[in-house]
Amino acid sequence: PFPVELKAGKKYAWCGCGHSKSQPFCDGTHKKAAPGISPVRFTAEKDTTAWLCGCKRTRSPPYCDGTH
């Protein structure tokens, strides 16, 4: 997983395909590399450090659930 600092009210796009060069966030690579997969968009509810999934197998995207 990737430890990231999230800011309250900020919008994020978590990479769901695994091809982004700016992991764990989407950089648009899925449009060519994995056209059937979209990023998970979310807004942070509070300022916090979160562990975002890197293996893309989590059952609670974008957050790591230990599946790896």
CB 36 within 8 A of CB 45: no
What is the reported pLDDT for 19?
Answer: 97
pTM, full prediction: 0.92
> CATH fold of 2-52, please?
Ribosomal Protein L9; domain 1 (3.40.5)
For the chain, the domains span 2-52
Q: What is the pLDDT averaged over residues 46-68?
A: 97
Q: What is the pLDDT averaged over residues 33-51?
A: 97
Q: What is the pLDDT averaged over residues 43-49?
A: 97
What is the reported pLDDT for 4?
Answer: 98
Q: List the beta bridge partners of residue 5.
A: 49
- Say if strands 40-43 and 2-6 run parallel, antiparallel, or are unpaired: unpaired
What is the reported pLDDT for 52?
Answer: 98
Q: What is the pLDDT averaged over residues 25-31?
A: 97
